[in-house]
Amino acid sequence: MYFRNVVTGGVQLRRAALLAAAVVASTPLVAAATPPHDGTPARITAAAAGAVYGGVTPDGFGLMVEVNKSRRTIVRMATGLRTVCTSGSIFILPDSWNDLRVKRGKFSASYGPAVERNDDGTTTDVEGTVSGKFNSSRTSVSGTWSLKLTHRDAAGTVMDTCDSGTVNWKAKQ
């Protein structure tokens, strides 16, 4: 089983959908979203004894992959994704995945579409995928990542779709 955070922080999907609805409903050319900082001190877990891989996506966003000591689980991985919308807007959104099982050096997961009902009667569908594999010496990891948001009005008509497309990424120790 895996857990996924579209936006890092407490309430996973709700926060992402509200952010997506606010972002999609507005029409600036470029907007930036940052993960919430709630002042909660970082927790050190047994997983912290594992390894951390780092890299940069083709769009220039930092990428982090943390594995547990046995390297059989990706404890957390996170990056920023640039989404281009059918309305012409461009949005930068943080995205992360937690607790992904690694089998024979490979992993993959998908999410959604999960429908979030917004207070104004609109809905936002959030969906994403991630996959990757470690090299034979486990010194690097590479793969693909995607995120898609679909904003619908109260009648269910698609108002805007924002998609990162397939982002190829690579990280090393």
Tens of pLDDT along 64-91? Answer: 999 999 999 999 999 999 999 999 999 9
> How is 107-143 classified by DSSP, letter by letter?
EEEEEEEEEEE-TTS-EEEEEEEEEEEE-TTSSEEEE
Tokens at 23, concatenated: 């972002």
Tokens at 138, concatenated: 């486990």
pTM of the model: 0.72
pLDDT for 32: 35
How many other C-beta atoms can be found within 10 angstroms of the C-beta atom of residue 24? Answer: 25
Residue 22, helix vs strand vs coil: helix
Nearest to 74 by CA among 2, 127, 136, 146: 2
Q: Distance between the two ends of the chain, CA-based, in angstroms? A: 25
